[in-house]
Structure 1
Amino acid sequence: MFTFEAEFFPDLTKTSVSEFCGEELSVLLHTLRRNGQLIEQLWNLVEQNGAIKLYCIAPEEDALEPRHFNRYGLEALSAVLQKSVRPPVFRVIGKTVGLSDACACENSEYYVLFSNFAAEYSPVSCGDCNLPVPLYKLPGENEDEFYALRQWQGEYKACDSLFVLSGVGEKFGYREISEVDSSLTRDGCDVCREMSQKCNRPFYYFLHRHISPLETCPRCGQEWGLDEKLHGFYAFKCDHCRLLSDSP
């Protein structure tokens, strides 16, 4: 992950700083976030002499280049330019400390749908390197801005938070993230099937087990234990059902 400094130059004869930030710039930033080019909402805006400085985090050094924009991003950028005296400037400050690198594989064999309560990055992990895959790098068309994928991640993080907090919602949260027949898992498996069709790659779904491992695949009943943990984490893998799980 990399930290960026960007500078925007609103035309104050057409707009005000507050309107520019709340409208054109806000639309651009959220569009980039939905496309995986910005990491969640880890950004700050600073006004300086009529210009707007943006400090943000992106998954790769070239993440904010226009070639990665989807059509919504290009439309949002066009709206920003119409209200600006000159184009924005993006500069890489350096590598962000404490956040994961992004997948750099050119042709991943398969992907994993994976998240947790603290995740701020892509919910898609590379099956080869186990690093998060920026959404804009996924093959195939995604005209819906990964809506179902992002919806699932938000729900997963909420359920995992209930479990981790160990309060009134602990049992509900754990069931949702650990059971193959939970509503969350069913939605996630639907997302995996949809993304697999779009990307033409297998998508595996991860079931987190904190209390007791599942010795056989919970869907087909076949043995699925691995001789050695995959990426030092996954202890179980069913290629038939495209499920993964860990071991307490």
Structure 2
Amino acid sequence: MSIIFVSSRAARQVTDAVYPWKRGSIMFTFKGEFFPDPAKASLSEFYEGELAVFLHTLRRNGQLIEQHWNLVEQNGVVKLYCIAPDEDALEPRHYNRYGLEALGGLIQRSLRPPVFRVIGKTLGLSDACACESPSYYVLFSNFVAEYSPVSCGDCNLPVPLYKLPGDSEDEYYALRQWQGEYKACDSLFVLSGVGEGFGYREISEIESPLTKEGLEICREMSQKSKRPFYYFLHRHYVPQESTCPGCGQEWKLDGKLHGIYTFKCDQCRLLSDAP
């Protein structure tokens, strides 16, 4: 199975020169070209079928940033403009089983394999983790998050899902579902008067259904990665509480971890902040 991937060394050199302090991978904008075979499918059938499946499979694997792509048709060629978390994010070696299957179906309906080219560094978006082997991870999100809900414990940058230890069978369904639920509850807390209390309870209480779901995901991901997974518990209204809500032990740090976390419990694998 083939795919053409054109890297941009110039884009990387400019990035390193302008952002010498960066600790993570810079988000990159790509141009992709797809060549549907009109003898096998109409343009709309190709777009709504094989191409849609392929793109959403990459999105679910963390290789494309959600909602940041545009498609244009020109002279029978479908052109994609999208954002990915690293310069090599769209290379087939990062595909899971579903991505490879989707690519195969796409190529069967195409005149030739798709082509991806790096255009350059994407402005205005967060960097992504570039650590080779993080010592621990954090499950963290909010209502405006567009990236992976997993952060690196060492650099505090989001970890693309395809970089998480696991296997090619995993589409991170539970993880993505939890993030959607967390964003909904956090949105209620921040933006809603009527639903503020419900939203806050879900993101702040150790016994809430949302927190229990997140802690279970952390346990499962920890087993797969062989690394600790911490859960972020947002405690806006009890910032001075010095004991862990899980075990009752002292958990206040001497200073702020990554400038965000004021509390950390290694036994319960919980992190929290203070306004």
**Which TM-score bucket, shorter chain as reference?**
over 0.9
CA deviation after TM superposition for structure 1 residue 142, in Å: 5.5
Is contact 1:113-1:123 (8 Å) kept? Answer: yes
Match of residue 160, structure 1, among 186, 190, 193: 186
How many aligned residue pairs are there?
A: 248
1:113 partnered with 2:113: no
1:63 partnered with 2:89: yes
Q: Tell me which moved more, 93-102 or 225-234.
A: 93-102
- Partners of 1:36 and 1:144 in 2: CA distance: 12
Q: Give the unaligned 5+ runs of structure 2.
A: 1-26
Report the secondary structure of 1:81's partner residue. Answer: helix
Q: Tell me which moved more, 215-224 or 37-46.
A: 37-46
1:130 partnered with 2:156: yes
Is contact 2:96-2:170 (8 Å) kept? Answer: no
- Partners of 2:221 and 2:179 in 1: CA distance: 14
Deviations 1:128-183 (A, max 9, x none): 00000011111122623111101100000000111111321111001111111111
Which residue matches 1:232?
259
1:219 partnered with 2:251: no
1:247 partnered with 2:268: no
Report the secondary structure of 2:263's partner residue. Answer: strand
CA deviation after TM superposition for structure 1 residue 93, in Å: 1.3
Q: Tell me which moved more, 147-156 or 35-44.
A: 35-44
Match of residue 93, structure 1, among 114, 119, 136: 119
Is contact 2:140-2:231 (8 Å) kept? Answer: yes
- Partners of 1:5 and 1:167 in 2: CA distance: 42
- Measured on the aligned residues, the alpha-carbon RMSD in Å equals 0.9
- Tell me the TM-score normalised to structure 1 length: 0.98
- Partners of 2:206 and 2:246 in 1: CA distance: 7
- Partners of 1:143 and 1:188 in 2: CA distance: 21
1:16 partnered with 2:37: no
Is contact 1:108-1:126 (8 Å) kept? Answer: yes
CA deviation after TM superposition for structure 1 residue 120, in Å: 0.5
Question: 1:175–1:150: structure 2 CA closer, same or farther, 3 Å change rule?
Answer: same
Partner amino acid, structure 2, of 1:206:
F
Is contact 1:8-1:84 (8 Å) kept? Answer: yes
Partner amino acid, structure 1, of 2:207:
D
Identity %: 79
Match of residue 203, structure 1, among 199, 220, 229: 229
- Partners of 2:108 and 2:43 in 1: CA distance: 14
- Partners of 2:117 and 2:171 in 1: CA distance: 25
Q: Give the unaligned 5+ runs of structure 1.
A: none
Report the secondary structure of 1:74's partner residue. Answer: helix
Report the secondary structure of 2:249's partner residue. Answer: coil
Which residue matches 2:74?
48
Partner amino acid, structure 2, of 1:230:
L
Is contact 1:228-1:235 (8 Å) kept? Answer: yes
- Partners of 2:123 and 2:208 in 1: CA distance: 36
- Tell me the TM-score normalised to structure 2 length: 0.89
- Partners of 1:190 and 1:99 in 2: CA distance: 30
Is contact 1:33-1:41 (8 Å) kept? Answer: no
CA deviation after TM superposition for structure 1 residue 77, in Å: 0.3
CA deviation after TM superposition for structure 1 residue 46, in Å: 0.7
Q: Tell me which moved more, 166-175 or 216-225.
A: 166-175
